Amino acid sequence: MTAIPIDYYLIFCSILFCTGVIGVLIKRNALVILMSIELMINSINLLLAAFAAYTNDPAGQIFVFFIMVVAAAEVAIGLAIIVLIYRTTHSIDIHVLNKLKW
Amino acid sequence: MLFTRYLFYFLTILALFSATMVLASRKPIHSVLFLTLTFFAIAGHYILLNAQFLAVVHIIVYAGAIMVLFLFTVMLLNLNKDERSPKPAWVKIMAVIAGGMLMLTLIGVFRGYEGMTTADPSLTQIGLVKNLGRVLYHDYLLPFELSSILFLTAMVGAVLLGKKEQI
């Protein structure tokens, strides 16, 4: 009986999380930045579900469910804000939004 | 058991490849489609962990609802042109180096970690709808009801932000 070691999941989720971090840093499109944040949320979700399965504790999977709930609400509001930004500035380049920058 | 392991490697490589392609593709619509592929690979990982409820909810919420929202936004905003002035190359290189440093640190910390593994994920029954539903409606009933208020607030907020005329 050889299950997949837990550190495989740890390393896979770390790489996925860092991909999301790099996406937030290198992209200028606000939509793609929101997608990178979704990648980060998903890597954390998968890791939480993996630990819940490896320790036989259902609370972790319930937490993943609630994180999905919050992520869905966040995406709805975030996309509404992006549509609003596009309507006022005709662009979703984040470098257009520098009016509040010192 | 060997088949499970090959499936794990396949899903991992698929998820990492499509996550990289989300960042590498220039058009936002391609990013959205590769993100959908990533979500399906992660749903496969949930099934490998015997978390069937989470896999189904993940496909419904992410691949069903969130991806449709993203696709509608991309199509409504007419963004199918390249980024007008991409960031300078040194900023991208520095960002990749910084993210790679974080990745190396995390891998170095987590490599060889074996603690807390008391159960075999292919034998646990906690991820089934029956067991998870019992926990959700018994121990976590109040957060479950509060999340409906959160959804209502988000819906009102999205409609209010998306309205054309001034309020």
Would you say residue A73 lies in a domain? Answer: yes
Q: Which residues in chain A are contacts of B135 at CB distance < 8 A? A: 58-59, 62
* pLDDT level of residue B147 (50, 70, 90 thresholds): very high
- Whether residue B39 and residue A93 make contact (CB cut-off 8 A), yes or no, is no
Residue A45 has pLDDT above 90, yes or no: yes
CA–CA dist B19, A98 (Å, integer): 29
Task: Look up the pTM and report it.
Answer: 0.90
Residue with the bigger pLDDT between B80 and B89: it is B89
Q: What is the pLDDT of residue B12?
A: 95
CATH code for the domain of A24: 1.10.287.3510
Q: Which of B14, A31, A82 is nearest to A23 (CA)?
A: A31
Residue with the bigger pLDDT between B164 and A20: it is A20
Task: Report the domain count for chain A.
Answer: 1
Chain A contact for B141 (CB, 8 A cutoff): no
What mean pLDDT is predicted for residues B8-23?
Answer: 94
Q: Which of A11-15, A40-44, A45-49, B125-129 has the lowest mean pLDDT?
A: B125-129
- Whether residue A25 and residue B112 make contact (CB cut-off 8 A), yes or no, is no
Q: Which ipTM value was assigned to this complex?
A: 0.91
Residue A48 has pLDDT above 80, yes or no: yes
CATH number (2.40.110.10, 3.90.340.10, 1.20.120.1200, 3.40.50.1240) of B1-83 reads 1.20.120.1200
What DSSP string describes B20-67?
HHHHH-SSHHHHHHHHHHHHHHHHHHHHHTT-HHHHHHHIIIIIIIIH
Chain B contact for A3 (CB, 8 A cutoff): yes
Q: How far is A98 from chain B (nearest CA, A)?
A: 15
What mean pLDDT is predicted for residues B87-100?
Answer: 88
Maximum alpha-carbon separation in chain A: 60
Q: What is the pLDDT of residue A91?
A: 81
Chain A contact for B46 (CB, 8 A cutoff): yes
User: Chain A neighbours among B 57-116 (CB < 8 Å)?
Assistant: 57-58, 61-62, 65-66, 69-70, 73-74, 76-77, 79, 83-87, 91-92, 95-96, 98-100, 102-103, 106-107, 110-114, 116
Contact A61, A52 (CB under 8 A): yes
Q: Which residues in chain A are contacts of B120 at CB distance < 8 A? A: 1, 3
Residue of A nearest to B92 (CA): A26
Domain extent listing, chain B: 1-83
Chain A contact for B17 (CB, 8 A cutoff): no
CA–CA dist A26, A79 (Å, integer): 20
Q: What is the pLDDT of residue B83?
A: 54
- Whether residue A42 and residue B132 make contact (CB cut-off 8 A), yes or no, is no
